[in-house]
Amino acid sequence: MIQLNQVTYQYPQHQPVFQGFDWRVQRGEAWAVLGPSGCGKSTLLYLLAGLRFPQSGQVIIGGEFLSKPRPNTGLILQDYGLLPWATVSENASLGLRLRLFYGPDGRHAPAGQQVQDAEAQANHWLDRLGLTEVKDKYPGQISGGQRQRTAIARTLATDPDLLLMDEPFASLDAPTRQSLGRLVRSLRQEAGLTTIIVTHAIEEAARLGERILVLNQPPNRSPQIVENPGAAVEGYSESAQYLSLCTRLRGLLEPAQ
C-alpha cells in the first residue's frame, strides 16, 4: 500500500527530519506513529498526504509515485478543519460536492468514480456516527466529540482506502477519546481501511496501533517498529500486556519525552 524508499526531507536551515528513511505499510493495516514534539510525526503525514514532497527518495502509494494529493486518501486534522459557517450536514457533504463540481478527473475524485447523491451519501455517515439530530447545527453549536465525528463523516463519505489522522483526539476528554478510538477501529475493520494515526500519547498509540512506528528527534534514519496485535482485541487496554507495552514504548522514547 505504502512504500517510502530512501526518503530525505529537510526544512530550510534545519537538519533533516528524515534521512534515507525506508518504511512499508500493507493494505488494511492499522498504524500509530508515536514520538515527541518536533520528531517529524506530522511531517510524515503530510508526505503521505501529498502536501509535502521529499528532497530525495520516493513515496509510493497504491503502486503509484506520489506527485500530488491522491483522491483516495482521507486526511483528518487535529482542529477538525470544519467550515464554521456551514452546518454539520454541509460540512459532511463538502468533499462529495467538490467531486460533483470537478467530476471524476483523477485529481479531485478517483477516475471513473461518479458521485450519485452527495446528500444521501453524507447522511448515511451522519446517521452511522450518531449525528443526525445535530445535522442542521453549526460547528460552534456542538461538542468537540461531535465536531470530530463530523470530520470523520466528511472523510468516510468520500470512500477512501487510506485514512490519515493527525492527533485527532488530542483536544478531547478521556472518555470521548476512547469512544472515538473504538469507533475508528470498528470502522476500519468494516471498511478494510488502512489507517495511520499520529499521536504523542503512549497510551493512545498502544490502543489504536496494531503496529507502532516510533520516531525520535531528527534525523530519523530507520524505523523503530513495535508489533501490537492486541490492539484489535476488545478490552485490551485493561490487560497486563497493554501496560507492559506502554512501559516498553516509554523506554523507546528519548528522555525528553
Distance in angstroms (rounded) separating the CA atoms of residues 150 and 165: 14
pLDDT at residue 256, as a whole number: 44
Query: At residue 196, does pLDDT exceed 80?
Result: yes
Tens digit of each residue's pLDDT (9 = 90 or more) over 5-59:
999 999 998 999 999 999 999 999 999 999 988 899 999 999 999 999 999 999 9
In this structure, which CATH number among 3.60.150.10, 3.40.50.300, 3.40.109.10, 3.40.50.920 belongs to the domain 1-72+162-257? 3.40.50.300
Strand partners, 75: 164
* Among 123, 141, 142, CA closest to 132: 123
Dihedral, CA atoms, 244, 219, 165, 111, nearest 10 degrees? -130
- Its pTM stands at 0.88
Would you list the domain boundaries of the chain? Answer: 1-72+162-257, 80-159
- How does the average pLDDT of the chain come out, rounded? 88
Mean pLDDT calculated for residue range 188-211: 90
How many Å is the Cα radius of gyration of the chain? 18
pLDDT at residue 117, as a whole number: 77
Distance in angstroms (rounded) separating the CA atoms of residues 202 and 257: 10
pLDDT above 90 covers a percentage of the chain that reads 57
Mean pLDDT calculated for residue range 222-238: 91
Tens digit of each residue's pLDDT (9 = 90 or more) over 152-163:
899 888 889 999
pLDDT at residue 156, as a whole number: 87
